[in-house]
Amino acid sequence: MSIDFRTNEEPEALSGFEHPVAATTKRLTRGQLIRRRFFRNRGAVVGLIIIGVLVLLALFGQYLLPWKFDQRDLGQYYKPPSPQHPFGTTQAGFDVLSRTVRGLGKSLIIGFMVAIIQTTLAALIGSSAAYIGGWYEKAWLWVIDLMLVLPSFFLIAIVSQGGPKGNYAWLLLVVLLAAFGWQLSARVVRSLSMSVKEREYVAAARFMGLSTPRLLVRHIIPNIASMLIVDVCLGVGYAILGEAGLSYFGYGVQAPDTSLGTLISEGAQSTTIAPWIFLAPASVLVLLVMCVNALGDGLRDALDPTSLSGGQA
């Protein structure tokens, strides 16, 4: 490992290495800097591209594929992959590829919705707790501790066992996953906001008479935006795995609808005679979560000004 002794020079001034033609004093905006740091991370870029492809597939796949997810090819039971059914067929003659695409779509929707809701909750609760302080802060910290003590898996399973069934039951699952997902992020948001709230411009805004909610949204939350972006991204991965885990035990997305977790648990019952039913959704799940994690890591390195893993920009 080499030790870096350049401390007097500003990192921006080094951009000259990238563009020999430009003068060494050329300044980059923060956006350009982040973009450059991000695109230098090959894993994250590949992750972003694959996620893009998977999202497009989930959106438009059903129009391109010859089979519908709930359409049986009668007589074609437990058929291994063939040109007609690239990922094979199930016990009932369903096309595994179109079911995987359908399940991918549901997993993606759930993942994104949960991640956005839980990060929003974490941002609002964490920053308001830090800013308002006093009993309000104590109460929220206590609620966070309480919710961390409860084993969320069992509680979500209880509610979805006793809860409503039907086409929109998965929305309840989204709410539950988000309700048990914001606590750790809220703690991080709170400790970051603690230092932001001491800044002069926050005091200035307060003395100008800005209301607390507005002050939080305008002056505190934007300052921790980079952490929140990374949190959403990693939250998508956790939520997809969480949903798949619940669906694996039958407490998640219910038939006739399907998600990657539901498909994996169906496929797991026939791995010895028809492994493709299991392998197709399982590999898509692993690929998706891998890409989301790589993207999150890349974003963190690009957004964190102290991180060296993006190289000098």
Partner 1 sequence: MVKYLLLRIANYALLLFIAVSLAWVLAQTQLHPRQLFEVRTPPLDPKSIENILRAANVSDHVPLWDRYTTWLRGVFLHWDWGTSPGGGDVGDEIGRRIWVSFRLVTIGWLLGTVIGVALGAWSAVRQYRISDRVITALVLILVATPSYVTGEVSKMVATVINKQVGFQMFLFLGEKSTGTLPNYPLADVVDRIQHMVLPTLVLTLLGLAGLQRLQRGLMLDALGSDFVRTARAKGLRENKAVMKHALRTALIPTGTYFAFQAATLFVGATYTERIFAFQGMGIYGVDTISKQNINGVVAVTAFGGLCYLVGAILADLMVAFLDPRVRLS
Residues of this chain that interact with partner 1 (CB under 8 A) are 1, 3, 43, 142, 145-146, 148-151, 153-155, 157-159, 161-163, 237, 241, 244-245, 248-251, 264-265, 268, 271-272, 275, 278, 282, 285-287, 289-290, 293-294, 308
The nearest distance, CB 227 to partner 1, in angstroms, is: 16
CA distances (Å), 271 to each of 28, 77, 274, in order? 54, 15, 5
Instruction: Report how far Cα 179 is from the mean position of its chain's Cα atoms.
Output: 15
Residue closer to partner 1 (CB basis): 221 or 302: 302
Question: CB atoms < 10 A from the CB of 66, how many?
Answer: 11
Q: How far is the CB of 66 from partner 1 (least distance, A)?
A: 28
- Residue 251 CB, shortest distance to partner 1, in Å, is 8
The minimum distance between CB 219 and partner 1, in angstroms, equals 31
Q: Which is nearer to partner 1, 202 or 236 (CB)?
A: 236
Least spacing, CB of residue 162 vs partner 1, in Å: 3
CA distance 313 to 276: 45
Smallest distance from partner 1 to CB 290, Å: 4
Q: Which residues lie below 8 Å from residue 236, measured CB to CB, with a gap of 6+? A: 111, 112, 114, 115, 292
Residue 163 CB, nearest approach to partner 1 (Å): 7
Residue 72 backbone dihedrals phi, psi, to 5 degrees: -90, 140
**CB-CB contact of 126 with 193 (8 Å):** yes
Closest CA to 183 of 129, 133, 105, 260: 129
* Shortest distance, position 154 Cβ to partner 1, whole Å: 5
Which amino acid appears at position 304 of this protein?
Answer: D
Cβ proximity of 37 and 292 under 8 Å: no
* Residue located via tokens 């590949």: 46
Nearer to partner 1, 78 or 223 (CB): 78
**Token pair of 168 as six digits:** 């929109």
At 94, give phi and psi (nearest 5°). -80, 150
Smallest distance from partner 1 to CB 98, Å: 21
Q: Which is nearer to partner 1, 193 or 293 (CB)?
A: 293
Cβ proximity to partner 1: between 92 and 286 the closer is: 286
3-class state of residue 210 by DSSP: coil
DSSP string, 116-130: HHHHHHHHHHHHHHH
3-state SS assignment for residue 164: coil
Tokens of 101: 């695409």
CB–CB of 243/237 below 8 Å? no
